[in-house]
Amino acid sequence: MRKRKRFLSAMGIMMAFLFLVPSTIGAATLFPDLERVPWAEEEIIYLHEEEVVNGLPDGTFGVSDHIRRADAALMLARAKHLDTENVASPSSFPDVKEDAYYFKAVQAAVDAGYLNGYPDGTFGPNDTLTRAQMAKIIAVAFDYTEVNGSYFDDISGNWAKKYINAIAANGISNGTDSGGFEPANNISRAGFSVMLARGMNDTYKVDAQEISQGPAEDPTEDVIESEKKPDPSEKPSNEKNGYLVLLTYHEIVESSSNQEPWKFYRLAKDFEADMKKIKESGVAVKSYGDALTMLENGEPITEPTIIIQFDDGKMSDYEFAFPILKELDLQASFFITPGRADKGGSIYMSWDHIREIYQYTNDDGERLFEVGAHGQTHTRLGKNEDESYEEWLERLQYELEIPQQEIESHLGFKPNLFALPFGSGYGTEEVHVFSESLHYDVMRGWKVDNHNFTNYDTPNVRFYPVYNNSKIEPAIELAKHGK
């Protein structure tokens, strides 16, 4: 009976996500977090009634979450009543796959002339939307003509200046509390909803701000046909003075008869040498918790940094890695599979081993090690050919939610870090929705750089897997220079 209940929960989550039901209910009943954004309540309720938006699996709207470009395309397609069934094929962008949930919406918006992607030919569906990009989307979709001069002091020379002026002149935006427009900043789900509602319904428009004097038009703007990728230098929180490397190990062994290259093990002597070289390199070693704190505070990752992490929860993590890390006073992250920890044995760590690692403190009383989930049974999270969509959703929820319950039961905290087994399920909307619902701040893929942090765009993150024949020096250089 318990399994049936879990199935209904999974279906309830995804049906709430996939299907829109018009409603005239109040803000608190519709989405409880709307109370945090009274300036956006009416607009979001309006968009919900117009079947343009819906909430997250946890029942909230995610008012403060940065909106992704793919989701903005979905909302735009619904707002403009675009034909998303008879779209052109193949995809206009190499990074928008035809089996992606957002493909039809993106393609329909392209066919309508509302979207045209980046100059390099990509769309960046998982990139967070900047305010400059929002301005172009709204101005083009609602046919607002450009205006000479400059409505905001911080848009001179910006590629999107004419679009920003256009939406300001038409009552869509009057800037931010700073008095400027902040074109390089990301826009939230609530913020984009307000702009879209104003484009759809004049009732929600604001009075245009007085235009400031300035050049009639920047000559470079007319030659820019595509959206500009966010320039990390435009925003202090994205400065690329240093890179964050996700250094990933799987198993540490004393010896091995398999000497073929590219195997998922590291000799203990080589691992110790790796750690000593990192320690001596001057590169900072931090945890995901440290990185998340910086991202939440808007602090730039200006320091070359490495996160040392271990997948699979092998016994060798405890026998070989744990003592070396303690000796060198280095932080690390361990992604474990509760189903394996329940069994223990000689291959995987038991809960006692994991608990000892997690509870360890150095001489300063600081905890060095954090624990994240790696699935409940370490199965691939992509949909199998022989399972129905509903069965897949049920399995996804089990693999993502039960590890939180198990780790909380054994270690006393609910993890917010998740490493996708085999990297499977990375980039799928179903995994993204469940991860947000379960409040995972990290949903890490395999050998992918960006979008491992659920709510943040992280262009200066680099993934570095370690094999038996790997060299550690390139990982250190990667942290310093990004290549």
Q: Which CATH number do you get for residue 251?
A: 3.20.20.370
Least confident of 238-252, 335-349, 355-369: 238-252
On whether residue 88 sits in a domain, the answer given is no
Q: Is 468 found in the same domain as 395?
A: yes
Which residue, 71, 288, 286, 50, is CA-closest to 192? Answer: 71
- The whole-angstrom separation of Cα 316 and Cα 250 is 9
Identify whether the C-beta of residue 284 lies closer than 8 Å to the C-beta of residue 476: no
On whether residue 12 sits in a domain, the answer given is no
Whether the predicted pLDDT of 2 surpasses 70? no
Q: Is 201 found in the same domain as 319?
A: no
Q: Is 216 found in the same domain as 261?
A: no
pLDDT tens, 184-200? Answer: 889 999 999 999 999 99
Q: Is 270 found in the same domain as 171?
A: no
Can you give the pLDDT at residue 27?
47
Start-to-end Cα distance in the chain: 52
Q: What is the mean pLDDT of residues 21-50?
A: 75
Please tell me which of 91-95, 135-139, 214-218, 225-229 the model is most confident about, judged by mean pLDDT.
Answer: 135-139
Whether the predicted pLDDT of 410 surpasses 60? yes
Tokens of 419: 């490493």
Can you give the pLDDT at residue 436?
85
Q: Is 255 found in the same domain as 206?
A: no
On whether residue 233 sits in a domain, the answer given is no
Identify whether the C-beta of residue 174 lies closer than 8 Å to the C-beta of residue 209: yes
Domain boundary (170, 196, 228) is at 228
Confidence of residue 223 (pLDDT cuts 50, 70, 90): very low
Q: Is 457 found in the same domain as 381?
A: yes
Domain boundary (228, 254, 279) is at 228
pTM summary value: 0.57
Q: Is 257 found in the same domain as 214?
A: no
Residues 6 or more apart whose CB falls under 8 angstroms from that of 452 comprise: 246, 442, 443, 444, 445, 458, 461, 463
Domains identified in the chain, total number: 2
Q: Is 299 found in the same domain as 150?
A: no
On whether residue 118 sits in a domain, the answer given is no
Q: Which domain holds residue 467?
A: 244-481
- The whole-angstrom separation of Cα 181 and Cα 164 is 8
On whether residue 112 sits in a domain, the answer given is no
Q: What are the two backbone dihedrals, phi and then psi, of residue 363, each rounded to the nearest 5 degrees? A: -65, -20
Q: What is the mean pLDDT of residues 289-315?
A: 90
Q: Is 219 found in the same domain as 267?
A: no
- The whole-angstrom separation of Cα 40 and Cα 198 is 11
Q: Is 221 found in the same domain as 293?
A: no
Whether the predicted pLDDT of 39 surpasses 60? yes
Domain boundary (187, 204, 228) is at 228
Q: Is 259 found in the same domain as 161?
A: no
Can you give the pLDDT at residue 456?
80
On whether residue 237 sits in a domain, the answer given is no
